[in-house]
Amino acid sequence: MAKEDQETKKDKKWNKNITVNKGGSGVIYGLGLIGAVIYYIQHATTFMIGVIGVIKAVFWPAVLIYYVFDKLKL
């Protein structure tokens, strides 16, 4: 019985740590995504360019990091 209680306490502590550590960078990425979508939609002249703009908005952080690493020669 004591072993089960100890395992339950470990599970609760582990689950608590997972819950506490969520957030942060996801919010920043989300705001960047929304801003990029708005930017690309405003500058789109056709529907297809707007669709491409939404796709670009999703992937722009990866492209940005690629160019930063390229300039830093990493």
In a domain, 5, yes or no: no
Q: Residue-wise pLDDT tens for the chain (74 aa)?
A: 555 555 565 555 555 555 555 566 778 788 888 999 999 999 999 999 999 999 999 988 888 888 989 999 87
Please count the structural domains in the chain. 1
In a domain, 10, yes or no: no
In a domain, 72, yes or no: yes
Q: How many Å apart are CA 43 and CA 73, to the nearest integer?
A: 33
Structural domain range at position 60 = 24-74
Residue 60 pLDDT: 85
In a domain, 57, yes or no: yes
Give the dihedral sign, CA 30/71/42/52: negative
Confidence (pTM) = 0.57
Residue 1 pLDDT: 52
Backbone torsion region of residue 16, taken as left when φ is above 0, otherwise alpha when ψ lies between -120 and 50, otherwise beta: alpha
In a domain, 14, yes or no: no
In a domain, 70, yes or no: yes
In a domain, 1, yes or no: no
Residue 6 pLDDT: 57
In a domain, 9, yes or no: no
